Amino acid sequence: METISELTLFEWKAYTVDNFAPYHIDNTSHHKAMNSALQNGMARKFFSKNIGNFGVRENIYLLKGDSRIVLPSLDSKSFDFIYIDGSHQYPNVKSDLSNAGRLLKDDGYLVGDDLETLEVPNLYDHFKSIQDCLDFAAGYHPGVTQAVLEEIGASNLWHDSGIYLSKMVNSSFTKPKLPPILNFDLAMKLIPYFIHIPNVAHIVEESDTFNLVLTNQGIFKIKHSLGPLTQKQINNRGYRIRHGITLESTRKKYFLNQLLILLKNLEFF
């Protein structure tokens, strides 16, 4: 199996912040198991094993500690991409988002989790849940919703199925313009491919002889033998075969094309 490092066409490094300490306050079996893994050190061991399995041990730097203490120590405008999925309590989420706004470069992206809604169902219950430091109430995370509304704003992000996405433009969060070939669901799956290096073509699917390659111009079918290519090379040279503007339409056209070739070889035509 190829590692992430072998599939990546550019140099990168990532910083992850975690104190690896128990934090859930309820007694569900799920949270009990999580706290047990944090207390006995298994969570830290699994983290180390996972980054080793994916071949990224040299790329990832662990900053152990509370994000409210660690993040302010990092240099401003030094990150291209920030992902937040930590504490759901309002003061902590607000701190993480505030720090993210300082740390992101212009044209950098912020992605977060656990934003089920931006519409508060009941203001009294909403703010009481925040005051009581509740993690989850009435089907959503009140602390996440309130912090996102204050630090980013409802009009400055995409959100779906708990995931939210915003872009830093002129030191302010803005709703990003996704590449025209992507809808929001597909963008969430392909964030690692298109955010950092928009001028690099990325393989999103492959067959025995061809790769389906994502660029900002669409998805192309390109022979394996041509090797890694930039968007500029694809756009300037004549060996590309454009199949579709979405992965699904490309798959369908590619399959039909392969079926046609097979039938012709069997002399049905």
Whether the full predicted model's pTM is greater than 0.85, yes or no, is: no
Last-in-domain residue among 187, 208, 229: 187
**Domain count of the chain?**
2
Say if residue 215 is in the same domain as residue 178. Answer: no
Return the CATH number at 156: 3.40.50.150
Does 103 lie in the same domain as 20? yes
104 and 29 together in one domain: yes
19 and 114 both lie in a single domain: yes
CA dihedral 240, 193, 60, 64 (to 10 degrees): 180
Hunting for tokens 């405008």 — which residue is that? Answer: 77
* Per-residue pLDDT in tens (0 to 9) along the chain, 269 residues: 444 455 454 578 899 999 999 876 667 777 788 888 899 998 899 889 888 877 888 889 999 999 999 999 999 999 999 999 999 999 999 999 999 999 999 989 999 999 999 999 899 999 999 999 888 899 999 999 999 999 999 999 988 878 899 999 999 999 987 655 455 555 555 554 444 434 445 566 666 666 766 665 566 666 666 655 555 555 554 444 455 545 565 555 555 555 555 554 444 33
Residue 223: which domain range? 199-265
Q: Classify residue 122: in a domain, yes or no.
A: yes
From residue 51, alpha-carbon distances to 3, 196, 202 in Å are 10, 20, 22
The amino acid occupying position 21 is A
